[in-house]
A and B are shown apart, each in its own frame.
Chain A
Amino acid sequence: MIHSLFLINAAGDIFLEKHWKSAVSRSVCDYFFEAQERASEAENVPPVIPTPHHYLLSVYRHRIFFVAVIQSEVPPLFVIEFLHRVVDTFQDYFGVCSEVVIKDNVVVVYEVLEEMLDNGFPLATESNILKELIKPPTILRTVVNTITGSTNVGDQLPTGQLSVVPWRRTGVKYTNNEAYFDVIEEIDAIIDKSGSTITAEIQGVIDACVKLTGMPDLTLSFMNPRLLDDVSFHPCVRFKRWESERILSFIPPDGNFRLLSYHVSAQNLVAIPVYVKHNISFRDSSSLGRFEITVGPKQTMGKTVEGVMVTSQMPKGVLNMSLTPSQGTHTFDPVTKLLSWDVGKINPQKLPSLKGTMSLQAGASKPDENPTINLQFKIQQLAISGLKVNRLDMYGEKYKPFKGIKYMTKAGKFQVRT
Chain B
Amino acid sequence: MSTSQAYNEEKGGSSSLGEPEYGHDPASGGIFSSDYKRHDDLKEMLDSNKDSLKLEAMKRIVAMIARGKNASDLFPAVVKNVACKNIEVKKLVYVYLVRYAEEQQDLALLSISTFQRGLKDPNQLIRASALRVLSSIRVPIIVPIMMLAIKEAASDMSPYVRKTAAHAIPKLYSLDSDQKDQLIEVIEKLLADKTTLVAGSVVMAFEEVCPERIDLIHKNYRKLCNLLIDVEEWGQVVIINMLTRYARTQFLSPNQNESLLEENAEKAFYGSDEEDAKDDKTETASLVKRKPYVMDPDHRLLLRNTKPLLQSRNAAVVMAVAQLYFHLAPKAEVGVIAKALVRLLRSHSEVQYVVLQNVATMSIKRRGMFEPYLKSFYIRSTDPTQIKILKLEVLTNLANETNISTILREFQTYIRSMDKDFVAATIQAIGRCATNIGKVRDTCLNGLVQLLSNRDELVVAESVVVIKKLLQMQPSQHSEIIKHMAKLTDNIQVPMARASILWLIGEYCEHVPKIAPDVLRKMAKSFTNEEDIVKLQVINLAAKLYLTNSKQSKLLTQYVLNLAKYDQNYDIRDRARFIRQLIVPTEKSGALNKYAKKLFLAQKPAPILESSFKDRDHFQLGSLSHLLNAKAVGYQELPDWPDEAPDPSVRNVEVPEWTKCTSREKRKEKVEKPFYSDSEGESGPTESADSEPESVSESESESGSGTESGSGSGSEEEEEESGDQSEEEEKEKKKKKKKKEKELPRKASLESMGSSPSEEEEEGKKAKKKKPQHDRKGGSESSSEEGSVSESSSSESDSGSDAEDSQLETETKRRKMPPSSKPAPKAAKKGTKEISLLDLDDFTPPPPLPTSSSSLVSSSLVTDLEGLTLIDTSLASTVISPVFSSVKTYELLHRMTGEGLSVEYYFSRQPFAPDPHMVAVQIQFSNNTDSEVKNVRISEPKLLSGMRVQEFKEIESLAPGETTSVVMGIDFCDSTQAANFQLCTHTRQFYGAIQPPVGELMAPVFMSENEFKKEQGKLTGMSEITEKLTLPETCQSDHTIVQRVTSAANVSRVPCGADNEYRFAAKTVTSGSLVLITLEKKEGALAQLTVNSEKMVIGTMLVKDIIQALTQ
Contact = CB atoms under 8 A, between A and B. Distances in A.
Interface of A: 1, 11, 13-19, 21-23, 26, 41, 43-44, 46-48, 50, 55, 58-61, 70-78, 80-84, 99-100, 103-104, 106-107, 109-111, 114, 118-119, 121-123, 125, 149, 151-153, 155, 157-159, 161-166, 170, 188, 190, 192, 198-199, 201, 203, 214-215, 217, 219, 230-235, 237-241, 243, 249, 251, 258, 261, 263, 265-267, 313, 315-316, 365, 368-370, 372, 374, 395-398, 413, 415, 417
Given A41-B384, A415-B380, A263 B346 contact: yes
A99 B870 contact: no
Interface string B163-206: 01001101100100000000000000000000001000100100
A185 to B, nearest CB: 12
B316 A81 contact: yes
Contact of A395 (B65, B158, B803): B803
B931 interface: no
B964 interface: no
B636 interface: yes
A395 B802 contact: yes
A170 B875 contact: yes
A136 to B, nearest CB: 14
Nearest to B312: A232
B20 interface: no
Contact of B234 (A122, A163, A263): A122
B455 interface: yes
Closest 3 CB pairs of A and B: A240-B678, A72-B634, A149-B52
B67 A77 contact: no
Interface string B617-633: 00000111101101011
Contacts of A106: 62-63, 66-67
Interface stretch (B83-91, B106-114, B761-769): B83-91
Interface in B319-355: 319-320, 339-340, 342-343, 346, 348-351, 353-355
A386 B636 CA distance: 47
A162 B382 contact: no
B12 A13 contact: yes
A165 B355 contact: no
Contacts of B454: 368
Contacts of B348: 59, 61, 80, 84
Interface string B137-170: 0100000000000000000001110001001101
A165 B801 CA distance: 11
Contacts of B1013: 398
B376 interface: yes
B319 A119 contact: no
Given A77-B354, A162-B872, 15 more contacts: A13-B12, A17-B66, A44-B386, A72-B635, A73-B635, A76-B627, A80-B354, A119-B136, A119-B167, A162-B158, A162-B159, A237-B676, A238-B675, A238-B676, A417-B413
B67 A15 contact: yes
B1010 interface: yes
B984 interface: no
A81 B675 CA distance: 24
A157 B123 contact: yes
Contacts of A73: 623-625, 632-636
A152 B158 CA distance: 27
Contacts of B158: 162
Contact of B102 (A22, A48, A123, A398): A22
A76 B355 CA distance: 10
Contacts of A47: 349-350, 353-354
A239 B1014 contact: no
B313 A261 contact: yes
B42 to A, nearest CB: 15
Interface of B: 3-4, 7, 11-12, 50-52, 55, 59, 62-63, 65-68, 86-88, 91-92, 94-95, 99, 102, 123-126, 132, 135-136, 138, 158-160, 164, 167-168, 170-171, 174, 197, 201, 204, 229, 232-234, 237, 241, 308, 311-316, 318-320, 339-340, 342-343, 346, 348-351, 353-355, 372-373, 375-376, 378, 380-382, 384-386, 410, 413, 416-418, 454-455, 622-625, 627-628, 630, 632-636, 672-673, 675-679, 682, 796, 799-804, 870-876, 1010, 1013-1014, 1017
A164 B625 contact: no
A398 to B, nearest CB: 6
A369 B315 contact: no
Given A55-B632, A151-B88, A266-B375, A161 B160 contact: yes
Contacts of B622: 75-77
B174 to A, nearest CB: 7
Given A43-B349, A266-B376, A110 B62 contact: yes
A370 B800 contact: no
B88 A153 contact: yes
Contacts of A417: 413
Contact of A121 (B201, B340, B875): B201
Max chain A Cβ within 10 angstroms of own Cβ: one of B68, B382, B385: B68
B218 to A, nearest CB: 24
Nearest to A231: B311
A13 B675 contact: no
A81 B373 contact: no
B3 A100 contact: yes
Given A43-B384, A249-B804, A369 B417 contact: yes
B130 to A, nearest CB: 13
Contacts of B160: 161-162
Nearest to B804: A241
Contact of B873 (A1, A164, A249): A164
A215 B800 contact: yes
A45 to B, nearest CB: 9
B416 A123 contact: no
A153 B62 CA distance: 15
A188 B622 CA distance: 27
Contacts of B99: 19, 23
Given A149-B52, A149-B55, A369-B417, A199 B376 contact: yes
